[in-house]
Structure 1
């Protein structure tokens, strides 16, 4: 599990390689990642948007931006948690992801929180450092 805390909001990510959804012979590897967002602050917050930076083993970078996560813009009350699972395909057997969520608190302040960098590695694969 990988963890980042910004403004009392904790984001944890657990990546899982999915061999059943991967096709290495076709140059496609797939990972699911489980995200937990815990609001440790005193104000409710809403997740408005996501920004992912995905880097493959060749150093190619893809940026993904969009509203909410998995079709939702969750409202997370003080002391509450929101969990979701999503996925990421790559054309290499390793890489990594990192990013940020755009949030707004109940007073209307908009701010970004960090998503920790985490690896996307096929188990037992040779690691390539970029």
Structure 2
């Protein structure tokens, strides 16, 4: 698990390789990632947007931007946690992802970026 804290917002990520949906002969490797967002600040916040960079080990980079996460723009009061699971596919057995969330502080509308820590996507047999 990797973790980063930005302005009191803690983001932790853990990954899993999904072999049942992957096919090495077609260069298709599927991973899920579980994200835990914990509001350790003194302010209620809303997750407005996400911005991801997905890096394949063959040099291909993809960029993904959009509103919220998995169709939601969760509001977290101080001490609250939001978790979700999403996924990504690679053309290679190794890669990585990183990015940021655009958060809004609810009481004054101030927007700020929260770092999503870089995490690795590696097919388990590559670690042997």
Partner of 2:41: 41
TM-score scaled by structure 2? Answer: 0.96
CA deviation after TM superposition for structure 1 residue 125, in Å: 1.1
* Count of residue pairs the alignment pairs up: 127
1:58 corresponds to: 58
Matches within 5 A, 1:78-97: 78-97=78-97
**Secondary structure class of the residue paired with 1:125:** helix
> What residue in structure 2 maps to residue 12 of structure 1?
12
Structure 2 unmatched ranges of 5 or more = none
User: What root-mean-square deviation, in Å, do the aligned CA atoms of Structure 1 and Structure 2 show?
Assistant: 1.2
- List, as ranges, runs of 4+ consecutive aligned residues in structure 1 with deviation greater than 6 Å: none
Match of 1:122 in 2: 123
After TM superposition, the score normalised by the length of structure 1 is 0.95
Deviation of 1:126 (Å) = 6.2
